[in-house]
Amino acid sequence: MGQETSIISAEAILKSKSGRSLARADVPITAENIEEFTPEAKTIAEATRRLQELGFTVEQSGVTLTLLGKPAQFEEVFRVKLTLKKDESTGGIIVSPDGELVIPDSLRDIVEKVAFPEPPEFFP
In a domain, 66, yes or no: yes
In a domain, 2, yes or no: no
Prediction pTM value: 0.82
Give residue 22's pLDDT.
Answer: 67
In a domain, 121, yes or no: no
- What letter would DSSP give residue 65? E
Dihedral of the alpha carbons of 83, 9, 111, 106, in degrees to the nearest 10 = 80
Residue 88 has pLDDT above 90, yes or no: no
The rounded mean pLDDT for the chain is 86
In a domain, 3, yes or no: no
In a domain, 124, yes or no: no
Give, in degrees to the nearest 5, the angle at Cα 49 between 46 and 111.
55
Give residue 3's pLDDT.
Answer: 47
Provide the number of structural domains found in the chain: 1
In a domain, 59, yes or no: yes
In a domain, 60, yes or no: yes
Range of the domain at 66: 8-115
Instruction: Report the percentage of the chain scoring pLDDT > 90.
Output: 58
Residue 71 has pLDDT above 80, yes or no: yes
Taking only the tens place, the pLDDT of each residue in 9-55 is 999 999 988 777 767 666 777 788 777 878 999 999 999 999 999 99
